[in-house]
Structure 1
Amino acid sequence: MSRHPTMWIKGQSSASLSGKVIVIAVTGSIAAVRVVELARELIRNGAEVYAVMSKEAQHILHPYALHYATGHDVITEITGEVEHVKFFGSEGCADLLLVAPATANTIGKMAYGIDDTPVTTFATTAMGEGAPVIVVPAMHNSMYEHPAVMENINKLQDWDVTFVGPHLEEGIAKIASNDQILLEVERSLGSSTLLGKKVLITSGATAESIDPIRVITNRSSGRTGREIAMEFYRRGAEVTVVHNGRLDSEGVNEILVESAGEMIDATLRELEHGYDMLISAAAISDYTLDASESKIKSGEDLSLKFRSTRKLIREVRNAYPEISIVGFKAEAGITEAELITRARESLEAADLDMVVANEVSITGMGTVENDVHIISARDDAITHVSGNKRLIAETLADNVEEIFRKN
């Protein structure tokens, strides 16, 4: 017999969850309508997904929808198959229980070991076995903020249950986005090879003010920096990003800046808190100017006088001589050999541990894909990688792990 058509999408986005079995436990929140796409997103990243539903959840979402979404029959009651033990007993086949969405009622039952629904029976078994459990709350805001609910959440967190979200909007504690949930699942089931490491990443373009309305900037989208931040977070690192953008992640700390000066000052201040590595992936402006306090009138001839900005890596190296630094070297209109030569010169001049070099006249800035050379100062080894920026982030993380292993 051919496999269920849902399996045709398996692994199409990534292999980050390949070989992992995830059980989605669905409760009676209206946010249950979001679970079909959530299940499929997990499958796109390589997971095998099963679903268990409470009776209340079935009033909102028919089990057929989750059968379609997962490719497996949905568990709606505990039978002679002892499904909770099959998946989460001492020899269970599941790697993680994802309670999404989780109502206040279910959170309370989980906190007190009450298992009177298929969902809570699965939760009691998984928690008793010490399996990873992620809870994604969704309910009315006034319910979420009830002292008992807060107490139950804190209690579960003390037992190493992970919570994702909610987002408080329109009087509702809304379910977290699928991207946020996926990232936390990947972190929970990932390699944890960077656990205990603190990494600071600068990302994206900076912008220098011309007047209160206009700025001068560059073509960087920040996509590479964001992918690096998420990949290092997946591997267990404590990650902070300094940038002029937004990440759809609660786990990654963000410091928002605009200008080159603000980015450099923010980075130096943040490094006071103790970091193992700086990854300087931002396209920091090389020039700045004194901005007009009022809007420059349109149509007038305009002459701007620029001056050089400070150099982030130089200031960081002077202030923190022991920190590991990964730099980026972007060039345009040169050969591969010349690119590597200039990257090596930067590696030595700035006392970097590693440099990522790319020629951006064809691809790189503002694009989904890139072609880069990662050069290590330790042994002068060059890793050439071409493809989407998530692949580049994964390859960089592999190389950084090698630095930490040898230090």
Structure 2
Amino acid sequence: MSRVLYVICCGAFPSENAHELVEPAQADGWTVCVLTTPYGRRFVDVPRLERLTGFPVRSEYKQPGEPDALPMPDALVVAPATVNTINKWGAGICDTVALGYLVEGYGLGLPTVVVPHSNRAHMAHPRFQQNLALLRSWGVTVLLDGPREPKRLPWRMVLDAVNERYAARDA
């Protein structure tokens, strides 16, 4: 079975271009599954992503006893990652399926890459900066932790970082 990459999208405009990460990741040999925060779901093209990946886009926890619709991840990418998600992740809060996988990912030792995305005022908050430092101390790769242009992320840079992290875990 191929490597499984979970792409987690939060409620920010770059999420509408998540396919620009999914397609090259698949070309690099990843099986890709997309999860979103509940608000992030509003930004993604759910039908397009489900067609591309062959999996449902998850934004809610499954029901007890319901089988898993997604294979277990081998690596995680959170892009774009909002201040809200980063701050909750740093606190270990699992009130969304996306956060549940992020918190669990640490315990499983999954290679994880995050691209924070928000405005300058949000990103200046001391707790946010502390949580970025905390994530780094846990081994999370934090890319581009300054304010972002509204709609574009360097998806190839993100994919290169996760490929590097995944390769390094076996070295």
Structure 1 residue 173, shift from structure 2 partner: 7.8
Structure 1 residue 62, shift from structure 2 partner: 3.7
Aligned mate of 1:181, from 158, 165, 169: 158
1:43 aligns with 2:22: no
Greater fraction strand: 1
Q: Which amino acid aligns with 1:77?
A: E
Structure 1 residue 167, shift from structure 2 partner: 5.5
Structure 1 residue 64, shift from structure 2 partner: 1.5
1:118 aligns with 2:103: no
Q: 1: CA distance between counterparts of 2:87 and 2:152? A: 17
Q: 2: CA distance between counterparts of 1:192 and 1:117? A: 27
Q: Structure 1 residues 152, 48: closer, same or farther in 2, change over 3 A?
A: same
Question: In 2, are the aligned partners of 1:27 and 1:57 still within 8 Å (CA)?
Answer: yes
Aligned mate of 1:150, from 129, 154, 159: 129
Q: Which amino acid aligns with 1:72?
A: F
1:4-403 equivalent positions in 2, closer than 5 A: 19-79=2-62, 80=64, 81=66, 83=68, 93-166=72-145, 168=147, 172=149, 176-190=153-167
Larger Rg: 1
Q: 2: CA distance between counterparts of 1:107 and 1:175? A: 19
SS at match of 1:190: helix
SS at match of 1:139: coil
Question: In 2, are the aligned partners of 1:167 and 1:174 still within 8 Å (CA)?
Answer: no
RMSD, aligned CA? 2.5
Q: How many residues align?
A: 169
Question: In 2, are the aligned partners of 1:137 and 1:175 still within 8 Å (CA)?
Answer: no
Greater fraction helix: 2
**Structure 1 outlier segments of 4+, above 2 Å:** 80-84, 166-169, 172-176
Question: In 2, are the aligned partners of 1:137 and 1:164 still within 8 Å (CA)?
Answer: yes
SS at match of 2:56: coil
Q: Which amino acid aligns with 2:85?
A: T
Q: Structure 1 residues 41, 166: closer, same or farther in 2, change over 3 A?
A: farther
SS at match of 2:39: helix
Q: Structure 1 residues 163, 83: closer, same or farther in 2, change over 3 A?
A: farther
Q: Structure 1 residues 98, 82: closer, same or farther in 2, change over 3 A?
A: farther
Q: Which amino acid aligns with 1:179?
A: R
Superposed CA deviations along residues 68-93 of structure 1, whole A, max 9, x for unmatched, are 23222211211134759x75xxxxx3
- Give percent identity, aligned residues only: 25
Structure 2 portions without partners, runs of 5+: none
Q: Structure 1 residues 70, 63: closer, same or farther in 2, change over 3 A?
A: same
Question: In 2, are the aligned partners of 1:110 and 1:123 still within 8 Å (CA)?
Answer: yes
Structure 1 residue 113, shift from structure 2 partner: 0.5
